[in-house]
């Protein structure tokens, strides 16, 4: 049986920040907060029954307000990832959005969805966060009403659904930006390197040195991006010059249903994460922007020091900069249509009797 309860998580601009916590019979637990519609904690039992928090984050609202430049756990939008040149055209009309990463636009701009305190309602075991983004906010056209629906069932799966409607043609590409370390949020890079990863993709979007897509694709065969079979993440990162921040084009079997995106296993604890989504892409990011060893660590939960390569992200999405590439899946939402993005995060633990086959 799933239990859901609410707690206070402080205040933001004199508004109450609400925290919702689900627990299941296995000890699996998920916490989300209304600020940024953020996933604050995911507690997962290992193969021995020991439970650990596997997402990076903060213990209080001040951490999220003052230190969350990496978007830990956040809902990002109106457009996740990058828009090249911070500009686009819709029906011949040019729009300029905030330049917040060099000359380009990232994750919704200077004050994106991750920095808003969302309205929250509860429907059974679902928590529904809602936000109205007004016409012109961060340069985007149209009033956009967005819902993020979180649900936990007794199968130890976190179900997430993003919904949006608009009053004008606009760009929408939402995602969740959780940073995972299945050894524990505080386990650091050494344990990330030992994770074993699979991604269901036979190509990636080619990008410039500023991570803006060129419009071309790279087949993963024979490259460090070939993660179609279980691969030790540290070995893959060594081949990829030590980092990933790339959009993988998911191999889609059925456009009308959920498709397998990725599976990641931490062998010594047995914990695994499987991601399923209805989106065409997923960004693998190995937390390259967190502080390097010679910098002051980002202080996270329980005083943990978060550092470069201390976690991985799997951000389901439409391809980056899709609004500027006609050959990409569309990121345009029109009035009367509903943007609907579903992603399931399935957690569990592999017994020691079921080893993973790993290719180095």
* Assigned token pair, 225: 């991006």
Q: What is the pLDDT of residue 111?
A: 97
**CA-derived radius of gyration, the chain:** 19
Confidence of residue 22 (pLDDT cuts 50, 70, 90): very high
CA distance 204 to 251: 11
- Mean pLDDT value of segment 52-71: 98
pLDDT tens for 201-240 read 999 999 999 999 999 999 999 999 999 999 999 999 999 9
Helix (H) or strand (E) holding 8: strand 3-12
What's the CA gap between 287 and 154, in Å, rounded?
30
Task: Output the 3-class SS for 224-246.
Answer: CCCCCCCEEHHHHHHHCCCCCEE
Structure token pair of residue 264 = 């990641």
- Domains in the chain, start-ordered, CATH in brackets? 3-349 (2.70.98.10)
> 179 with 73: CB under 8 angstroms?
yes
Active-site residue, 15 included = no
Please choose, from the candidates 102, 104, 114, 103, the residue with its C-alpha nearest in 3D space to the C-alpha of residue 78: 114
pLDDT, tens only, 78-115 = 999 999 999 999 999 999 999 999 999 999 999 999 99
For 277-321, the pLDDT digits (tens) are: 999 999 999 999 999 999 999 999 999 999 999 999 999 999 999
User: Residue 161: is it exposed, middle or buried by C-beta count within 10 angstroms (0-12/13-18/19+)?
Assistant: middle
Which residues define the annotated binding site for beta-D-galactose?
81-82, 177-179, 245
Q: Model's pTM, two decimal places?
A: 0.96
Q: How far apart are CA 168 and CA 158, in angstroms?
A: 32
Q: Does an H or E element contain 66, and which?
A: helix 61-67
Say if residue 356's pLDDT is above 90: no
pLDDT at position 241: 85
Contact 222, 204 (CB under 8 A): no
Catalytic entry in 185, 315, 325, 341: 315
Options 107, 177, 266, 309, the catalytic residue: 177
Q: What is the mean pLDDT of residues 19-27?
A: 97
266 is an active site residue: no
**Do 164 and 146 meet the contact criterion of CB atoms below 8 Å apart?**
yes
* Other CB atoms within 10 Å distance of the CB of residue 26: 16
- Nearest alpha-carbon partner for 73 in 116, 106, 31, 43: 31
């Amino acid at each position: 049986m799933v239990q859901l309860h609410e707690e206070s998580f402080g205040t933001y601009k004199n508004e109450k920040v609400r925290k919702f916590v689900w627990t299941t019979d296995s000890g699996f637990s998920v916490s989300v907060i209304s600020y940024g519609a953020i996933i604050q904690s995911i507690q997962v039992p290992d193969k021995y029954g020991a439970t650990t928090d596997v997402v990076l984050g903060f213990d209080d609202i001040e951490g999220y307000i003052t230190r969350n430049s990496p978007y830990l756990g956040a809902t990002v939008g109106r457009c996740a990832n990058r828009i090249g040149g911070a500009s686009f055209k819709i029906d011949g009309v040019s729009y300029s959005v905030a330049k917040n990463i060099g000359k380009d636009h990232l994750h919704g701009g200077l004050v994106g969805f991750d920095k808003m305190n969302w309205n929250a309602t509860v429907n059974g075991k679902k928590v529904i966060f809602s936000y109205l983004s007004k016409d012109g906010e961060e340069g985007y056209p149209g009033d956009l009403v967005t819902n993020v629906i979180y649900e936990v069932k007794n199968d130890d799966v976190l179900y997430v659904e993003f919904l949006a409607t608009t009053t004008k043609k606009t760009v929408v590409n939402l995602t969740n930006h959780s940073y995972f370390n299945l050894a524990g949020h505080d386990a650091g890079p050494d344990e990330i390197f030992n994770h074993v990863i699979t991604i269901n993709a036979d190509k990636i979007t080619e990008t410039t040195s500023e991570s803006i897509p060129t419009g071309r694709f790279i087949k993963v065969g024979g490259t460090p991006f070939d993660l179609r079979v279980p691969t030790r993440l540290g070995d893959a990162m060594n081949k990829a010059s030590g980092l990933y921040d790339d959009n993988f084009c998911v191999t889609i079997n059925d456009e009308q249903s959920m498709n397998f995106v990725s599976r990641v296993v931490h062998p010594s604890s047995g914990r695994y994460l499987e991601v399923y989504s209805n989106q065409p892409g997923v960004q693998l990011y190995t937390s390259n922007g967190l502080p390097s060893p010679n910098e002051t660590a980002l202080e996270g939960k329980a005083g943990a020091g978060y550092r470069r390569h201390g976690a991985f992200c799997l951000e389901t999405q439409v391809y980056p900069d899709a609004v500027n590439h006609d050959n990409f899946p569309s990121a345009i939402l029109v009035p009367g249509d509903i943007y609907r993005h579903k992603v399931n995060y399935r957690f569990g633990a592999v017994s020691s009797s079921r080893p993973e086959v790993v290719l180095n």
